[in-house]
Amino acid sequence: MQPISVLVVDDHAVFADALRARLDAEQDLAPVTVAYSVAEARAKLAVQRPDVVILDMYLGDGSGLQVADEVRILALEARILMLSASGSVDSVVDALASGVRGWMSKTVEITELINAIRALHRGEAWLHPALLGRVLAAQLRRSASPPSDPLGVLTQRER
């Protein structure tokens, strides 16, 4: 079985380094690398093609959503897992719309995080069950609300 390569993007060096050290202990997770900023993540994505990218939502020089955009451009096959202290439902919905396929709190048990990494690598999506109902309700509200400019969805010719 091919190992799962992981890129951790977090501006808290102690947290990121500790997470890398713990993930390195798993035989099927290798290599595990770290980027401490959006700029460093962009540079690493340009040369590495990680299978899974673990992102913090808020970084010192930008956001995890910026990195998610870079992942879609530079490492199209990579699965994105947002690992954040924020549990805002709107943030989760925005992240999912940006291509993120998993969301976890930074307080999660490490075994649950490792299981989520493996699940994302298999092509599954992952949300904590406590968030799932609220995220689905918010997504339904967003899709049911009419656009602010109803004509904005029409082409020039349709208008």
Encode pLDDT of 94-139 as tens digits.
888 888 999 998 889 999 999 999 999 999 999 877 787 778 777 7
Confidence at residue 50, expressed as pLDDT on a 0 to 100 scale: 96
Q: How confident is the model at residue 89 (pLDDT cuts 50, 70, 90)?
A: confident
Q: What is the pTM of this model?
A: 0.83
**151, pLDDT greater than 70:** no
Residue recorded with tokens 């004509």 = 151
CA distance 85 to 150: 36
Lowest mean pLDDT among 3-12, 14-23, 82-91: 82-91
Confidence at residue 146, expressed as pLDDT on a 0 to 100 scale: 61
- What superfamily does domain 4-143 belong to in CATH? Response regulator (3.40.50.2300)
**Domain map (residue ranges) of the chain:** 4-143
Encode pLDDT of 17-60 as tens digits.
999 999 999 999 999 999 999 999 999 998 999 999 999 999 99
Contacts of 22-26 spanning 24+ positions with Cβ under 8 A:
22/110, 23/114, 23/117, 26/114
